[in-house]
Each structure stands twice: as structure tokens, then as C-alpha cells.
Amino acid sequence: GVGVMLELIRSWRETGYQPKRTFMFVAYVNEGLEYGKSPRLEPEAIEFLAAKAGFSRAYNVEAILTLRGLGGGTGNGLVVSTGGSLHLVEILHQAARRASVGLARQDVPLDYRTVWLGEGATSHDANEAPTVTMWWEGYEAYSHTPADTLDIVSADRLEKAGRTLSGALLMMGR
């Protein structure tokens, strides 16, 4: 996920792409491990925004897209959760189709308090912003196991995930 995100940022900078919306890219390691506390696999976005005083109030967070296990897996395509925003999931589906990448939905209960409205959305709290997660099908077979090594990372999968992510963010940036 971090490699795909960094390559996306590099390509935007190289091409001079200027989105009409602000995108914030956050990368982290250890998946939320804190000394003396239980591990959390997905820290809340508001925790990253609250790291500096006043920072969380400086942005209207409209959507959060979490990337996990994009480089390895046992499946043939990407999977996206539907629990945060069906609109955002549809944008990812459109981007995957345009990139000729398979994308399946994993239906999870939708929190109707966090429907992403697109233009004019008014969420001010990252805890209220819809979160959609994208991963390579079957990455769980290796994740957090001794087999989770660089050898299982596929350049082809990373490239397909990157094309899909890039297309989706280009649409969102308009």
C-alpha cells in the first residue's frame, strides 16, 4: 500500500497534476502498536489528524480510502469493502474497469450516518467520514505470518492496484 501510494504521488508530481480537491496521504507502520496497549490493526484517521494541535480542524474530511495487502495474495483481483460509501465503491469500480482490473465487493453493513455525498460534503470529523478499504484478494493468507516476505510481492499486482487507485483519485480530484 505504501509503495503504491508513493508511486502515485511521484507520478502526479512528475506530470504536474493538480487536483481540485486536497488529498492527504498517510502511511504508518506497526499497524497501531502502542506500548502497553493491545494492537489495533486500523488506527482511526482522526488520530493522525490530531497528532498536531489544530490540524484536525483545518480539513473537511470527505472520505478515507485504506490500502492493505496490495502486493500479494492468492486471488485474481482487488477487493473493496462497501461499509463506508457506496458512491466511493462505485468510483473504484469505474477506475478498475477502465484499468482492466478485476474488482469484487465485500459487503459489510453500511453506516448510513457516513454516506459520502461528493461535491459539497460537509463532514468535519474524520471519525464521521466514510472509510472504504481496498486490498488484493487473498492477502490474508500471508499477512501476519512468517510467509509474509518480499518474495510474495507481485509487481503486476502492485501495478494493477496503482492503476485502479490512480484512476479513482483522478475522478475524485475533479
pLDDT value of residue 78: 94
Residue 113 confidence class, pLDDT cut points 50, 70, 90: very low
Average pLDDT over residues 51-70: 78
pLDDT band of residue 50 (cuts 50, 70, 90) is: confident
Query: Which uninterrupted H or E stretch holds 103?
Result: strand 103-106
Residues in the chain: 174
Per the prediction, the chain carries an average pLDDT of 79
Record the pTM. 0.78
Q: Which cell numbers in the block locate residue 45? A: 484517521
Higher-scoring residue by pLDDT: 52, 172 = 172
Q: What pLDDT is attached to residue 114? A: 44
Q: What angle do CA 145, 149, 150 make, to 5 degrees?
A: 160
What pLDDT sits at residue 72? 86
Give the per-residue pLDDT at 83.
Answer: 73
More confident residue, 128 or 154: 154
Q: For the chain, what percent of residues have pLDDT higher than 90?
A: 34
**Distance between CA 117 and CA 69 in Å, rounded?**
28
Residue 59 has pLDDT above 90, yes or no: no
Tens-place pLDDT, residues 75-94: 899 999 877 678 888 999 99
